[in-house]
Chain A
């Protein structure tokens, strides 16, 4: 298959970016999207130019490191996949493919297609955990957890922190990301003691870092490679209201 690639190139955060066009030929339909970029990069090195920078690590859809805006969609045209799991068979021969980095104010571009997503970690550091230290905890079976709750918590915990939800949202809202963590821990008995403080702190941090508000278009849910549900946002809102109204602990 042959493609024309329009790729965002930007030397560094301060530099002005631009689209560059590249032609690429004889790509197997079984080739993954990132392997296609590898081939492009190899040809750029052969032509003595600087290859296109893009983030990736596991290349199997679990680390959340890859993430490209492809033809106007985070992670491209296939559903429920990350960029690294996308294959060229999902495109048509001869197509022009536009590739951009995540676009969101809290994710500044580092170089080309690489953005800075450390804001995600900062929100987790505010309380996206249960404050236990190593050792001195009860037996794993001491607290039975109903299967459906454990399964639901697992669904929320499947978030890979890629940031597609934020890139997809016109307000760059991080509600799905934060909601998934808040929900996972609120569903489990172990997470209950800190639930009220957790949600308040994480939401405050989210606002502080410049993530926008949710205006209920749910592009986040539609583009999430792990199909995290919008109900996580509702759950977070509920936890937030409960924390503000019922809980005596405020931040």
Chain B
């Protein structure tokens, strides 16, 4: 299984998707009813896919980790969603969105996939409007836009600071309609525990009913992984508590390869850490950088005085402030891509200019409030300002916000080809769970775009192409030996965790994992740190399997047990993240190797040796995984050094 065929259609970039659609295989309505699809995860990617596939007439089952699809992590997305509508007449186009996304990803994404994403993005906005999503509008009643990092046009559509909520509720409403129609069946409070592969094809899953602890078997003709990202490997991140990479690891164990695990996005504007009790970090949307200006004191003594509480930031004169992004990157200013803004914040704080407890910079709205008035700012960002005030207990209208980078998004994920199919036939991956479109760094407002593009407009075509060959394949029984074995191994795993009865709680071990990852596989990586991290992670894995303490029992609701299972997989994922980071001897996007920088301190890519996707194959317990390469050939784009100056 070592050749990676990305199945990119022939032809000009702009013709590939049209060509694919016109030649793909179709399934007639009567046959669709005989074909079963399992979708795991109810975020934007999963809900939109299930709704669209159900509406086409397939038999869909969707599994939701919480009590309702509306809870999924996507609900928390704040700032907006991109599309190349060019409603602003500011020079936007599909080509430009494509170019920005490839460049933003530091030339580590696949051209054909990204072009298709840019191509279908406009339809998502139309779809959302038709669903009744109350996107922001201008006084003429037309759709409004804002700007996001990494682009010089205004192409981001939004619904206050709650864009993810509105888009997810749109997908949820489409899903609810199908549930009512009976084409989709929803199973709530279920967590996928394993993938069942029969004769080399994904044919079902094992779930655990989180309410009763029961293990259940489900069979199908194809399985869609829409289980989101793995940012919670770092323990503290902006991800929701239930986000986890466990399902992806299960697929990896069953033969799905894992691409670019080390590509993690650290978001520059999050509320800084307060104490050890902290359970997660809260994002302050990138959209704030439209109007907020980022700075630290120009003089190190002022920074010190502020940290000691002797000086108030509002008293600091303009000329004593260092708007370091505007200074370093005059062309993009505060709207440089996330990886660059994060590193710049870290650089200032490491140099002693940080405020708060030393690990924070200011995001200041003073100029914007003076220019636009408080009401306008409230209209644009009211809910974010409220959120900030509730957490920090400081009024951001009167004082600058304090922010610091935090783990936010994972560009890596299950490897998929152009059809979004993994290396296991019949297993598809969508949304943040796959690796496909964002290269080494994702631009703001393009995760929502990708999840929905995949679900509404891509999987309904590509899965049909796959399923057309399966119309004679009978439904498989859940009593086969493959299901027996999968359930048995899940049960054994649960039993062994319960039996350890060790000394350390899951949270304690999770914090230790987070600490190793943030310190050694975090924002600034180097060979020395990474070589240290790998044995530390192996030790942590041993410690988990000998010393974790989970109380309660297996046969009832037990969140500690659920967390422990995810942690076990996260430790394993952490190990391939570190290995992948070590092999990638270059800096690109969110992957910053301190040894590979330009004279000006910017990331230095090595296109000659590293213009590939690192694709990891599992080889068994205690075996070293193998890395394969998918070479990236840029046929249409002119590869450049990223420059935002």
Contacts and interface: CB of A to CB of B under 8 A. Distances in A.
B507 A85 contact: no
A53 B562 CA distance: 12
Contacts of B85: 140-141
B299 interface: no
A154 B552 CA distance: 43
A32 B162 CA distance: 22
Interface string B124-162: 011111111111111111110000000000000001101
Interface string B183-217: 00010100000000000000000000001000000
B129 A143 contact: yes
Interface string B67-90: 111111101100000000101000
A1 B159 CA distance: 39
B265 interface: no
A119 to B, nearest CB: 10
Interface in A54-113: 55-65, 78, 80-81, 85, 87, 89, 110-111
A222 to B, nearest CB: 18
B557 A114 contact: yes
B130 A137 contact: yes
Contacts of A145: 137, 141
The listed residue with most A CB atoms (<10 A of its CB), out of B51, B129, B179, B507, is B129
Main secondary structure of the interface of A (DSSP, over half): loop
Q: How large is the interface on B (under 10, 10 to 19, 20 to 34, 35 or more residues)?
A: 35 or more
A50 B391 contact: no
A121 interface: yes
Interface in A172-194: 184-185, 188, 190-191
A16 to B, nearest CB: 16
A51 B393 contact: no
Contacts of B558: 50
Contacts of A219: none
B174 A129 contact: yes
Interface in A155-171: 157-158, 160-161
A31 to B, nearest CB: 5
A5 interface: no
Nearest to A47: B551
Given A38-B507, A44-B551, A133 B174 contact: yes
Given A135-B127, A140-B128, A85 B391 contact: yes
Contacts of A126: 180
Given A118-B188, A146-B141, A190-B130, 6 more contacts: A57-B71, A62-B75, A64-B70, A144-B137, A144-B141, A158-B165
13 contacts: A28-B275, A50-B558, A58-B75, A63-B240, A111-B557, A124-B173, A130-B130, A130-B173, A131-B177, A134-B48, A140-B135, A143-B129, A190-B129
Interface of B: 48, 51-52, 55, 66-73, 75-76, 85, 87, 123, 125-143, 159-160, 162, 164-166, 169, 172-174, 176-177, 179-180, 186, 188, 211, 240-242, 274-275, 277-280, 282, 386-387, 390-391, 393, 456-457, 460, 505-508, 549-552, 556-560
Which 3 residue pairs across A and B have the least CB separation, nearest first? A144-B141, A129-B173, A137-B130
